[in-house]
Each structure stands twice: as C-alpha cells, then as structure tokens.
Amino acid sequence: MSRNQVLEFVMNLCKEDRLAKAKDALHFFKVMIRLNPLPSTPCFVQLLGAAVRRKHYAVAIHMIERMDSMGISRDIYVLSILMNCLCRLERSDLGFSVLTKMFKLGLEPDVVTLTTLLNGFCEEGKIAQALTLVEEMRGKGLKVNVFTYSVIMKGLCRTGKTSKAVQLIRNLEERVCELNLVAYNTIVDGYCKEGLVEEAFGFFNRMSHCLIKPDILTYNTLICGLGCTGGWKQAKALLEKMIHDGIHPDVITYNSFIHGLCLCGQWEEVRVQLSEMVRGGIRPDYQTFTIILDALGKQGMTDEAKCIFDLMIEMGVQPNVVTYTSLINGYCLQNQMDDAAITFCLMTARKCNPNVVTYSTLINRYFAVKRVDKAMSLLRQMLEKGLVPNVATYGCLMDGIFLAGSPRVAHQLFYKMLACNHINQQIYAIMLDGLCKYRQVDKAMALFRHMEDGMDDVNIVHCNILIKGLCEMGELGPAMNLFNSLAAKGLQPDVMTFGAIIKGLCKAGQIREACKLLHNMKEKGCPPSGIIFNIVVPALLKDGENAKAMLFLGEMVEKGFSPNAASTAKFLG
C-alpha cells in the first residue's frame, strides 16, 4: 500500500469509529509516525479524536507527548484534546496548565475549551476555582454563554450548594444573560435532591414567568422529588397537569410516581397507575416491577410480591438480578428461607447469575436463623465464583461468620478482599474486632502492625478495638504501651479509649492508676461518661475505698449520671 492509501485506511477507521481497543489506536499511531513525509496535524487530530471517543484518555495523552517529542506542531485542537483527557482523568490542575500554555503560544481557546476545563474542576468539586476561571476569562474578553454557567450550576447542585447556584442565576439575570431550560432544570433537580421540594416548585413556577416551557425532564424530576418526600397527591396532580399541557409521560415518569406511591403504601393507586401506563401505550419495564416488588417485600407482603413477579413474566418482562434479589430479600426478612432458596434456584436455572448482594442477603439470613452449614456452603460458592463482597455487605458477612465461630473463614475472606484491593478502614476495624472477640489477640496485633506498615491512616477506632481486646485478655502491658504511643501516632484518645484502659486497670486491681487516668481525662478535655464512673466506683468499693467511691458517686449525680446496681449495692447493704 502507498503512503496515501495507508493514511486513507487509518482515517476511514477513525471516521467509522472502529478503533475499539486502546492497542488499536496505539498501533495505527505508530503506523502514521513511520510514514514519510509525516501526516499533517489534522490527521493526527482525527486519530486522537477516535481514541477519546472510546475513552482511551491515557493512550491519547501518550500519543500527544510522542507527537511533541517528534516536533509535530500542537495546535488549538491538539491542546484542547489534551486538556479534555487530563480533566477526564481527574487532573484538572494539569488541564489548567494546558490552558496557560495556550495563552503563551498565542492561541485563543474558545468557550467549548473553557467549558471542558470548568467541567473538570466541577467534577473534582473545585467550584471556587471554576468560578474564578470564568471571571478571568470574561476579563480577557472571552464571551461566556449559558452552557458554561450551566456546568458550574450542575457542580454546585451536585455538592449540595443549590442555593449558591440560584444566586449565580440571579447574577446572570442581572447581567441580561438569557438563561435556558437546562439551567432551570439543573436548579430544580438540585433542590429535589436536597429534599427542598417547595423551593423546587418555586423555581418551577418562576419558569413560566420567564417564558421557559418545562419539559418532560422538569416534570419527572419534580414527580420523583415529591414521591420521595411523601407528596404523592401533589405528584398525581402534577402528572395530570403534565398530560393536560401536552407533555406525554414516559416510563421514567411512571416509575418515579410509582416509587413514591410505594413509599407511602398506596397499593391501590399503584395498581391504577400500572393500568394507566398500559392504557397509554407505555410498557412497564423491569425497573417498574422491581420498585413495586421490592417495596412489597420490605412491607412483609411477600405473597403480593410474588404475584407482581409472576405478572412481570406474564407480560414478557425478564427479571434481572436486582429483581430476583429484591424478592429473595423480602422472603429473608420474613424468615421464609425455603421460598428464598427456591427463588435462588429459579434465577440460576434461568441463567441469571446471582451477584454479591444476592449471596450476602441469603448468607446473612441463614446465619441469623442459625442455619450455619447452609450459610457456609453459600459463602464458599460465592468465593469460588470469584465474587468479592463490597464494604456494605462485608461487615454483615463478617459478623455472621464470626458469630458462627469460624474465624478461619473470616481470614480467608479478608485476605481475598485484600488481594482485590477492596480493603478500607472500616473493613480493618471489623476484622480486628472479630479477632479480639474470639480471643485471637496475637493475630489482631499482627494485623495492626501490617496496617501500620502499609497505611498512614490507622485511626483511633482501630486502636480502641485493640486496646479493649488486649485488656479483656489480661494483656494490660501491651494495652498500656499502645495507649501511651497514641500521641506519637498523631491520635487523640477518646472516651472509648479511656474506658477500655480504665476497665483493664480496675480488672488488674490497679485502682489508683485507674483513678489517676480518670482525672487525666478531665485535664485532656475528654469528660468521663457514666459508664466509666460505673466501672471505677464498684472497683473502689471492692478495694475498701468507700470515701473515694462516695466522692465519685456525688460527681456522677451532679453530672446527671445514674449509678448502676454494682455502684450502689454496698451502700444500700
């Protein structure tokens, strides 16, 4: 093939979006840079654009760096692509440096380039920097349009700062900047997500004064917001207004409304709206049925949930893993484990693979009803399939495993999570707690040392668990060593830390040290709790220190704490 034929072939691949894999884009880039003479910059831009459309951002950056080293000129399009890739990879700081380079090269970025960088800032929560950039660009004479401001509004609303987004809108209106439907929908959505539905309605009404006609997205957002806050009657009225205004509801509209009805337990109205959907030519989807089925299951209405499941299949809508898991969860909540098991078998027979939530739901309930063998069997099956629990399901699973007296299995699951890099502070805390509860303090200490070697964010919760475990095992020396090392670790002991150590000291008969530590708490600005007083007072009484015990009892009453039976028994006797 001649040079021109090769180049034409590569350009056609780019136009037809056939560079699915990152290695394909890289391969044809290498083909292009071997051509003599080199293709023009616009040809490379086409290849870069094709790579970016497939989200091969890192590869595109690599290609641009290689172009730079070869002396291929960087025009505004290449630099804009580079900025976009950096922002997509959450490096808006580097994206900003590209903007600076554009100005140094005498290139003039357009509003699209600016919006790309603003979007990067907002995605990373850097709203203040985004606003500063807009003002700087306006100062340089760049005309900023409503779409640019909409990006910032979206960022503000996403971070729960809808009121600031509204303030921005008012500033824009004062500048006679014509706002569009996107800007208003962003505010309505932001208010609804913050649960401020009244404010959202205020903005909805304001739209008509500004001659902006609401669209289906506006109505869907409001119906969803009303449903989540119990305003199903208002949602119904809004649905009727929507239809009256000539905007046809879609499946999302009905799903949002039905979700709100389910939250309010309006089952008869749910039935009516399902019929209305079908009558209006809108086919309920898997999400429609899953919403209803899940709500019924959580209300203990498992027979009704099964009827909805059967209706779903009858209407030709295939249940997915979420649907099956919702039905299984409903059965588990009612301890209908045989029905849950039948549904689990049904989903696997229908080639719908259970996910980690499905397994965790069943495993946790089997542990709860003391069917440990069944729980362990499913846990092994889950691990064999390569399914790793997420943080949300892991804690419940570990509690069940330790409850079943199987710390070995807990270890197996923990190290599988560790290998998959799915470990965080909470998971370490659960594992430490389980090991300590099952008196495997040596293993807990080894794990703690591993944490200190591998991560900087060991926190006071981890230390508290270990200190408590050591004290309960009578290992007061190591517990005190850890307690005394907290300051060096940059950690401040809290009431739980002091409580564990004081209890350990009292248990070891070191009452005087326990009292000193209690006074130390006050000096360190950590007031003792009623629980701590109720540990120290009985220990003093047992040691014959009645006068001191009386002083502490008086202090307890003064602070509004109630002495327990152990604290008062000797005086009453």
Q: Which two tokens stand for residue 460?
A: 């006071």
- Give how far the C-alpha of residue 360 lies from the chain's centroid of Cα atoms, to the nearest Å: 19
Structure-token pair, residue 47: 């290849």
> Best-predicted range by mean pLDDT among 109-113, 188-192, 450-454, 463-467?
463-467
pLDDT at site 140? 77
According to the model, what pLDDT value does residue 558 have? Answer: 81
pLDDT (0 to 100) of residue 569: 58
Confidence of residue 568 (pLDDT cuts 50, 70, 90): low
Say which residues have a Cβ less than 8 Å from residue 332's Cβ, sequence separation at least 6. 340, 361, 362, 364, 365
- 240-277 as b/e: b if 16+ CB within 10 A: eebeeeebebeebbbbbbbbbbbebebbebbeebbeeb
For residues 64 and 376, the model is more confident at: 64
Question: Is there a cis peptide before residue 284, judged by omega within 30 degrees of 0?
Answer: no
Q: What average pLDDT does the segment 246-274 reach?
A: 94
CA distance 522 to 501: 15
C-alpha span between 61 and 83 (Å, rounded): 9
Query: 3, 46, 2, 1: which is closest to 25 by C-alpha?
Result: 46
pLDDT confidence tier of residue 300, bands split at 50, 70 and 90: very high
What confidence tens digit (pLDDT) does each residue in 231-240 have?
999 999 999 9
**What percentage of residues in the chain have a pLDDT greater than 90?**
39
Tokens standing for 452? 């200190």
pLDDT average, residue stretch 242-249: 92
Q: Pick from 184, 246, 173: which is nearest to 218 by CA?
A: 184
pLDDT, average across residues 426-433 = 86
- Note the pTM of the prediction, 2 decimals: 0.64
In this prediction, residue 571 carries a pLDDT of 56
Condensed to tens digits (0 to 9), the pLDDT of residues 383-425 reads 888 887 766 677 777 777 777 677 777 777 787 777 766 677 8
- The residue ranking higher by pLDDT, 423 or 452, is 452
- Residue-wise pLDDT for 349-380, tens only, equals 999 999 999 998 999 898 888 888 898 889 88
